[in-house]
Amino acid sequence: MNLSPSQWAALLPLIIPSVGACLIAIMALDKDQATAKWIRGAMYGTALLAVAASFWLLTELWKSGSQPSFGQLHLDRLAQFTGIFVLVAAALTIMQSWDHFHQEGWVKGETLCLLLFATVGMMLFASTSNFVLLFLALELFSIPLYALVGTVRARSESSEGGMKYFLTGAVASSCFLMGGVLIYGLSGTLDLSMAAPILKTQGLALDPLVLVGAALMLLGFLFKVSAVPFHQWTPDAYEASPHPIAGFMSVATKGVAFIALMRIFPVSFAPLGAVGAKMQSVVAVLAVATLVVGNLTALVQTNVKRMLAYSSISHAGYLMLGFVAGTPAAFNGVLFYLVIYMAMNMGAFGLLTAFGLVGEKTTFDDLRGLGWKRPAMGVAAAIFMLSLAGIPPMGGFYGKYMIFRELVGTGHVGMAILGVLASLVSAYYYLRLLVALFLQAPSAEAERLASDRPAVHAPFAGATVLVCAAIVMAGGFIQTFLSDGFTRRALVEGLGLIR
């Protein structure tokens, strides 16, 4: 089979990480103690190299402006944007996991291999509107993540969280599959962007089965973004998984699920106006529930990872508000928000690694006074938390600003008020982390333990935290560059939304 250069261009960004993953799996077979150190380095190097190569290919594509495709795989602007987004998150995760797994004493090649496969799956998930490919991609990134959550087998709660995530995730995937099957059965096409016009010409636009199909597919997406009431897995899975993996799940999974949702619902299903409107009202109701439940539950958490899990639920709520507004500018806001959110959350989870908190020792009390001991990390933590709370001049404010502005512009003033009240509540629990870091002295026992232990050495995690902080601040000061040069182009040229 001969592939044209354009087809290669579409395929290579996905193939390279897959090949890297396979290589790592082979390297991980080595059990020789003497060479273990070198093999480890080689595995992490390979993983980073694979991610970097794919990243380079995508940025070249972005610069050239071409949007190649291979069969049902369309590597358009939006897919390239998603690819870059996921790859950056993956690179940060790989760097952080080097430090984290060394702290845990559990350095395994499989985790990297799974991580790369998940990355490929995510890139694929946002690059197609073909249902079969969508489902395959969904499984390709979900199954490695189930395994990654439970990867530190030495901790019993780790496998518990993985199991919980797997069982609920499997149900959500089958719902998604069922929804797609219904749409396929009625329209006779697997391409969702073709299905909508066909259903419309057949006069099935408001057929109950179409509605059920669309609703089931929506459920699959909402599960992945951890919207209420499909959120229960989130805190347990995050708490169980290694910090970098939790960070990766919180940003990459949510990000691609939202981007794929954007491709399917407002765009592909646009011809079925009524269905879209109904789904939008469902999203509106669930967004409200997500904001309320996510924020209020986060208030009472004592564990930082669980707090971040509920905070990630509440951020899903803000992003869903963008879908409620439903204008192209609101989708632009969603993409912008996702970029900043990636930096904020990868940074926040990276902090835990940089501070050397392992296992169960991730409560607020474990963080006390650390901001003064590690000033650079402390400043970065302040940037992340204030940005998560949406305080200017951090980038997180602009994400919220864009979404709220569109909400108000489309007449959803009540939703906007709810949104700002939710971020007021969220400010409290984000401040709690700063209170622990700066405003509380460490307990005497923690001091004694700390003096016994060797100093925490986490150079890579520290570096990623600083990079993330820089991105967040950049989002606050060169927001137009990010939004016009990056997210808006992805929407305009990828989805053809804003003309």
Partner 1 sequence: MTWLNSHPLSFLVFAPAILGLLILALPHALGRLSRMLGFMGALAFFALSLAWLLGHGGGGVLSERAPWFTLVGLPVDYALAVDGLNLWLVILTTFLVPLTMLGTWNSIKDRIGTFAAMFLLLETGMLGALMAQDLFFFYLFWEAMLIPMYFMIGVWGGDERRYAANKFFLYTLSGSLLWLVALLYLANKAGGFNPLLMGQAASLLPFGVQCWLFIAFAVAFAIKVPLFPLHTWLPDAHVQAPTAGSVILAGVLLKLGGYGFLRFAIPMFPQASMHYAKPIAILSVIAIVYGALVAMVQRDIKKLVAYSSVSHMGFVMLGLASFTVIGTQGAMLQMLNHGISTGALFLLVGMIYDRAHTRMIADFGGVAVKMPVFTAFFFIVTLSSIGLPLTNGFVGEFWILNGTFLSGFGWGRLYACLATSGVLLGAVYMLWMFKRVFWGPENKDEDSGTHHLHSDLNLREVAVLLPIVVLIIWMGVHPKTFVAVSEAPVTALLKDANAPAPRTFVLKPAVHEAAPSHEAGAPHEGAPEASIEPAAHEVHR
> What value, to the nearest 5°, has the Cα angle with vertex 80 and ends 171 and 58?
125
Helix (H) or strand (E) holding 278, with range, is helix 273-299
| Residue with Cβ nearer partner 1 (242 or 390) | 390
The separation between CA 228 and the C-alpha centre of its own chain, rounded to angstroms, equals 17
Output the smallest distance, CB 390 to partner 1, in A. Answer: 8
Closer by beta carbon to partner 1, 100 or else 489: 489
State which residue, 219 or 339, has the beta carbon closest to partner 1: 339
Q: Is residue 404 part of the contact set for partner 1 (CB under 8 A)?
A: yes
**Residue 300 binds partner 1 (CB under 8 A):** no
Q: List the one residue out of 496, 467, 492, 471 whose CA is nearest residue 482.
A: 471
Give residue 47's Cα distance to chain centre: 19
Of 380, 349, 372, 354, give the one whose Cα is nearest residue 438: 372
Judged by CB under 8 A, which stretch of 73-81, 85-93, 299-307, 429-437 contacts partner 1? 429-437
8 A C-beta contact, residue 218 and residue 282: yes
421 in contact with partner 1 (CB under 8 A)? yes
Q: Using the rule CB under 8 A, is 392 a contact of partner 1?
A: yes
Burial of 302 (0-12, 13-18, 19+ CB in 10 A): exposed
The verdict on 479 binding partner 1 (CB under 8 A) reads yes
Residue among 289 and 391 whose Cβ is closer to partner 1: 391
Min dist. Cβ of residue 22 to partner 1 (A): 43
User: Could you say which of 391, 450, 470, 492 contacts partner 1 (CB under 8 A)?
Assistant: 391
- What phi-psi label fits residue 375: left (phi over 0), alpha (psi between -120 and 50 degrees) or beta? alpha
3-state secondary structure 334-367: HHHHHHHHHHHHHHHHHHHHHCCCCCCCCEHHHH
Cα separation, 43 vs 246, in Å, equals: 21
Given 126, 149, 307, 402, the residue binding partner 1 (CB under 8 A):
402
- Distance from C-alpha of 167 to C-alpha of 305, rounded to nearest angstrom: 21
Q: Point out which residues pair with 73 in neighbouring strands.
A: 70
Strands (E), 378-486: none
Residues 436-475 as x/- pattern, contact with partner 1 by CB under 8 A: --xxx-----------------------------------
Residues in 326-385 that interact with partner 1 by CB under 8 A = 329, 332-333, 372, 375, 379, 382
| Bridge partners, 363 (sequence order) | 303
Segment contacting partner 1 (CB under 8 A): 103-111, 236-244, 325-333, 345-353?
325-333
Q: Does 405 contact partner 1 by CB under 8 A? A: yes
Does position 485 interact with partner 1 (CB under 8 A)? The reply is no
Which residue in the set 27, 186, 427, 474 belongs to the binding site for partner 1 (CB under 8 A)? 427
**Where does this chain touch partner 1 (CB under 8 A) — which range of 190-198, 221-229, 348-356, 406-414?**
406-414
How far, in Å, CA of 324 to CA of 320, rounded? 6
Six token digits for residue 268: 């592909």
Size of the residue set binding partner 1 (CB under 8 A) = 38
In whole angstroms, the minimum distance from the beta carbon of 439 to partner 1 comes to 5
Q: Shortest distance, CB of residue 370 to partner 1, whole angstroms?
A: 14
Q: Which residues contact 67 (CB under 8 A, 6 or more apart)?
A: 61, 74, 75, 76, 77, 80, 493, 494
CB neighbours of 71 closer than 8 A, spacing ≥ 6? none
The CA angle 91-356-389, to the nearest 5 degrees, is 70
What is the Cα–Cα distance from 488 to 332, expressed in whole angstroms?
A: 6
- Piece of 21-29, 69-77, 170-178, 479-487 that binds partner 1 (CB under 8 A): 479-487
CB of residue 81 to partner 1, shortest distance in Å: 18
Q: Does 423 bind partner 1 (CB under 8 A)?
A: yes
Which one of 35, 202, 302, 480 is in contact with partner 1 (CB under 8 A)? Answer: 480
What residues from 104 to 143 belong to the interface with partner 1 (CB under 8 A)?
Answer: none
Element (H, E) at 69: strand 69-70
DSSP, residue by residue, 384-399: HHHHHTT-TTSHHHHH
Task: Give the residue with the Cβ less far from partner 1, 98 or 429.
Answer: 429
Q: Residue 268 and residue 189: Cα distance in Å, rounded? A: 13
CA dist., res. 434 & res. 205, Å (int): 51
Interface pick for partner 1 out of 107, 354, 370, 386 (rule CB under 8 A) = 386
Question: Taking contact as CB under 8 A, which single stretch among the options 15-23, 186-194, 286-294, 404-412 is the one that binds partner 1?
Answer: 404-412
Binding partner 1 by CB under 8 A: which of 209, 274, 300, 413?
A: 413
Q: Which is nearer to partner 1, 99 or 406 (CB)?
A: 406
Contact 311, 429 (CB under 8 A): yes
Closest distance between partner 1 and the C-beta of residue 369, in Å? 11
Which range in 109-117, 153-161, 279-287, 393-401 contacts partner 1 by CB under 8 A? 393-401
Q: Which residues bind partner 1 (CB under 8 A)?
A: 329, 332-333, 372, 375, 379, 382, 386, 391-393, 397-398, 401-402, 404-406, 408-409, 413, 416-417, 420-421, 423-424, 427-428, 431, 434-435, 438-440, 479-480, 483
